[in-house]
């Protein structure tokens, strides 16, 4: 008997898209417009300043969780929109995937840092309350205001779910991207020494991270433009389908 939940999660495109989305989220965290501001975000969420006593770790972790929830809602909506578009435009999906691949290549170059005007952020005019009450809204503001900066990786993720043409799976990919971006915030909030040290290391090697992340995006874009991406997804889906039949 077929398992709808299993089929949804084990779809060939998801087995490829989920780890890539997680990695894309991590690369977004390491971007120049997010990583240097991590201490400020945590201080704002915790509701304290450098001259005040910090709140408890439990309170801060809860606030970061709400912050992650806020931007997850926005990013999942984004990927669902792309997944729905893929469903409606299925007859032209091959051409759209190749065009999207070209866009991903351009976004990879942007992420490397060669197109500075495309790396600006949009800073909202209104202020968000500090502490737990403002944490979810701060997450939404973060997602909307920093979209131009994290756009290269977000566009790559959107292109993947566009190819899948499935809103349900697109939502899962959106959650994976948000986890890749949010988990580092959570680890730093927990006060883990290795997590704090990792952030410091990334800040020192931000240029190298940009080069690697940009190269990864360009590689994905090339796979999409040449049609190899869809071939990989189709082949993997066939293998998984045969495995399910044996079970």
Cα 101-162-136 angle, rounded to 5 deg: 110
pLDDT tens per residue across span 36-72: 778 777 777 776 444 444 457 788 888 889 999 999 9
Classify residue 55 by its DSSP letter. Answer: P
Q: What is the percent of the chain where pLDDT is above 70?
A: 72
pLDDT band for position 233 (cuts 50, 70, 90): low
| CA dist list (Å): 55 to 30, 151, 165, 189 | 26, 33, 44, 11
pLDDT tens for residues 148-195?
667 777 877 887 787 667 888 889 999 999 999 999 998 888 876 666
DSSP 134: T
Residues 169 and 149: their CA atoms lie apart, in Å, by 25
pLDDT at 45: 78
57-88 vs 135-145: helix axis angle to the nearest 10? 40
| Tens digit of each residue's pLDDT (9 = 90 or more) over 101-117 | 888 888 788 777 655 44
pLDDT of 123 strictly over 70: no
Q: Give the whole-angstrom CA distance, residue 97 versus residue 108.
A: 16
Contact of 40 with 196, CB cutoff 8 Å: no
pLDDT band at 34 (very low <50, low <70, confident <90, very high): confident
């Amino acid at each position: 008997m077929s398992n709808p939940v299993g089929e949804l999660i084990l779809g060939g495109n998801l087995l490829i898209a989920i780890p890539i989305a997680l990695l894309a989220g991590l690369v977004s965290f390491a971007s120049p417009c997010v990583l240097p501001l991590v201490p400020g975000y945590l201080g704002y969420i915790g509701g304290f300043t450098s001259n005040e006593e910090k709140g408890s770790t439990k309170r801060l972790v809860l606030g970061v969780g709400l912050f992650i929830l806020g931007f997850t809602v926005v990013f999942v909506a984004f990927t669902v929109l792309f997944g729905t578009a893929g469903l409606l435009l299925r007859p032209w999906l091959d051409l759209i995937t190749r065009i999207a691949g070209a866009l991903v290549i351009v976004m990879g170059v942007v992420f490397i840092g060669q197109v500075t005007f495309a790396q600006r952020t949009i800073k909202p005019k209104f202020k968000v309350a500090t502490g737990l009450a403002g944490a979810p809204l701060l997450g939404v503001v973060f997602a909307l205001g920093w979209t131009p900066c994290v756009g290269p990786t977000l566009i790559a993720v959107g292109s993947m779910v566009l190819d899948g043409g499935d809103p349900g799976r697109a939502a899962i990919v959106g959650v994976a991207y948000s986890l890749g971006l949010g988990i580092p915030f959570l680890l730093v909030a927990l006060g883990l020494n290795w997590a704090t040290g990792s952030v410091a290391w990334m800040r020192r090697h931000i240029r190298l991270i940009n080069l690697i992340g940009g190269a990864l995006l360009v590689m994905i874009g090339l796979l999409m433009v040449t049609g190899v991406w869809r071939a990989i997804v189709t082949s993997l889906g066939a293998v998984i389908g045969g495995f399910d039949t044996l079970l």
